[in-house]
Chain A
């Protein structure tokens, strides 16, 4: 017994033991085998991702439905949740702090801001945990990992569409007229989704390497929310504080969250005029979307083969 057990693995195990590596590599090359777990090229990666598009949508929808499946009111929470959220903000900022003075159509203004912001916020939060929170999935199945952050961003988009349905009702209740400009909401959502998915991918890579980032993000996001004019009009606040350095205004207004929120307000609320938007606003919105979307995708892909280690 001990004889065999003493036998060192090299002699017992298979053919190409003589020259370490080279023979096996040659054998692999001769039969056209590829390295397992290697990162595919960028075009190939895009192709694989496209092939998994049905999985991405199915996964997003499944997550969305699973979210409230144990609740008695079920899917009604999809709409209730954002509405209650908006109600809380209205109570604090509109009533208690009086930010609503001087903002026409304050309720539609606030609700639009909250909904659009929530979309970005939850996409980023979900993106941060996309890999680190789904290690089981990553370690069990083979698919381009970018499917996860994109799927989470898509889930949030679906969630937003529910909220938008509620928003339309609110707009009509507060006497905001239906206008052709409502159609602008579609390109805004497309741009914002691209931006969110991109940032989600960036955060997914960072969160996969350092899970601690998930603890930090709520604070970063809250700060971002307050400087993006979700509950107040940046325009008006800046006008009240003329002593601020001159670059603060343009910077705040060009930050992606503020851009998408204001564009959505411009599209939906007729008392929100174009002169409240920064100049070249569509250009800025597209720029942010492309920068985050393409940059985030490449950044995420660069570490594709390392996800799931640990």
Chain B
């Protein structure tokens, strides 16, 4: 796969370059044992030295990850829970500062999602406007796309719900509206974090189609998912993160085979690439509690 990438390098234009990236979270108030009030005071008085001593814990979420993504690629990010996938995605989007190393991007990568900008007390209609503006669309663009967004979400299929406050929506309806707003904009570099998991089946189908469409317009797509099937369907390259480290980087089939062996998920059965045949996004049951399965702690000495 190394030569595969070398070829790519010659012919293609890089859009995202991660250069030995480290990401560290600092968590306040985990000081156990001693009275945490004094620990906090201690922390304030002697900033740096006291960090470890007084309740601030560092979580090294991503360790020395390097990769180059090229235009036209769709890259899947896989790994067990807590392996740093979403964190890495946020750093690529420039939303989380990196501790060491650099991430270079072409244009502004955007995370697919507007949940945080929406307000439950406002009507769906106003949320469409607010969400669109929050993503950086102009007022005219929002107005143009408005009908399209509402139709896509299917909120109005069962009556005029778009003029009701969002708090009155069922959780599925709200999720559909959120996805519809988020997917309304074209992006250079698109980052998707398990967005496919929302809504009922017919909506899932529509969202998959929409994501394929976005892919066509976008330079590069990153997809975080625990659903190996949707990774197979959408991605041609996969990065496998484990405990914050880049375990593998290569074509989807190769990496997924190893990953499935690692998680003990359908390991023995060598799975030939299930090409589109049945497009219905049957929600392949996500292997629950993956990290607890055997290989994780026992057999595999991770290079650290």
A residues neighboring B (CB under 8 Å): 1-2, 4-9, 11-17, 20-21, 24-25, 27-28, 31-38, 51-52, 54-55, 58-59, 62-63, 65-66, 69-70, 134, 136-143, 305-306, 308-310
- Does the CB pair B138–A27 fall under 8 Å? no
Question: What's the least CB distance linking B294 to chain A, in Å?
Answer: 12
Most buried by B among A17, A37, A38: A37
Judge whether B46 is part of the interface by a CB distance below 8 angstroms.
no
Q: In the complex the two chains form, what is the Cα distance from A141 to B103 in whole Å? A: 17
- Count A-B contacts at CB 8 Å: 194
- In Å, the complex CA distance between A211 and B126 comes to 31
Q: What 7 additional pairs, Cβ within 8 angstroms, besides A24-B102, A137-B116, A142-B136?
A: A11-B2, A14-B5, A14-B67, A24-B18, A31-B13, A59-B117, A136-B115
> How far, in whole Å, are A297 and B93 apart by their CA atoms in the complex?
24
Q: Which residues of B contact A62 (CB under 8 A)?
A: 119, 122, 126, 130
Q: Determine the chain A residues whose CB is within 8 A of the CB of B262 once the complex forms.
A: 1, 5
B165 CB to nearest chain A CB (Å) = 7
Is B95 touching A14 in the complex (CB atoms < 8 A)? no
Chain A's nearest CB lies how many Å from the CB of B179? Answer: 14
Report how far A28 CA is from B134 CA in the complex, Å.
Answer: 29
Among B148-156, B243-251, B275-283, B284-292, which stretch is in contact with chain A? B243-251
For B247, list chain A residues within 8 Å (CB): 5, 9, 12
- Interface 0/1 of B229-243, CB less than 8 Å to A: 000000000010000
Q: Which of B1-50 contact A (CB under 8 A)?
A: 1-2, 5-6, 9, 13-20, 25-28
Contact B133 A55 (CB under 8 A): yes
Residues of A within 8 Å of B117, CB to CB, are 59, 137, 140-141
| Min CB–CB distance B169 → chain A (angstroms) | 15
Residues of B within 8 A of A (CB): 1-2, 5-6, 9, 13-20, 25-28, 64-68, 90-98, 101-106, 108-111, 113-117, 119, 121-122, 126, 129-130, 133-136, 138-139, 165, 239, 245-250, 258, 261-262, 295, 299-301, 303
Which residue among B9, B15, B129, B136 has the maximum number of chain A CB atoms within 10 Å of its CB?
Answer: B136
With A14-B2, A14-B67, A36-B105 already in contact, the answer to whether A28 and B95 are too (CB < 8 A) is: no
A90, B295: Cα distance in complex, Å: 72
Known A9-B246, A17-B66; contact A142-B133, beta-carbon cutoff 8 A: no
- Smallest CB-CB separation from A8: which chain B residue? B303
User: Cβ of A306: which chain B residues have Cβ within 8 Å of it?
Assistant: 97
Minimal beta-carbon separation of B250 from chain A (angstroms): 7
- The residue in chain A whose Cβ has the minimal distance to the Cβ of B106 is A33
Complex: how many Å from CA A27 to CA B117?
A: 36
Question: A28 with B14: in contact, given A37-B91, A310-B25 (CB under 8 Å)?
Answer: yes
Q: How far is the CB of A52 from chain B (nearest CB, A)?
A: 7
Central interface residue in B111, B134, B247, by most chain A CB within 10 Å: B134
Contact, CB under 8 Å: A14 / B249: yes
Q: Is the CB of A31 within 8 A of B14?
A: yes
Q: Which residues of A contact B114 (CB under 8 A)?
A: 140-141
Of all chain B residues, which has the CB nearest A309? B97
Q: How far is the CA of A13 from the CA of B102 in the complex (A)?
A: 16
Q: What's the least CB distance linking B38 to chain A, in Å?
A: 15
A21 near B20 with CB under 8 A, answer yes
CB neighbours of A32 from chain B (8 A): 106
Q: Are B5 and A37 in contact (CB under 8 A)?
A: no
The answer to whether A308 and B103 have CB atoms under 8 Å apart is no
In the assembled complex, which residues on chain A have CB atoms less than 8 Å from the CB atom of B113?
140-141
A-B contact pairs, 21 of them (CB 8 A): A2-B300, A9-B245, A12-B250, A13-B246, A14-B68, A15-B6, A20-B20, A21-B20, A25-B19, A31-B13, A33-B14, A33-B15, A35-B104, A36-B94, A36-B103, A52-B136, A66-B119, A141-B116, A141-B117, A143-B134, A310-B27
A69 to B126, CA, bound (A): 13
Option from B9, B97, B101, B104 in Cβ contact (under 8 Å) with A33: B104
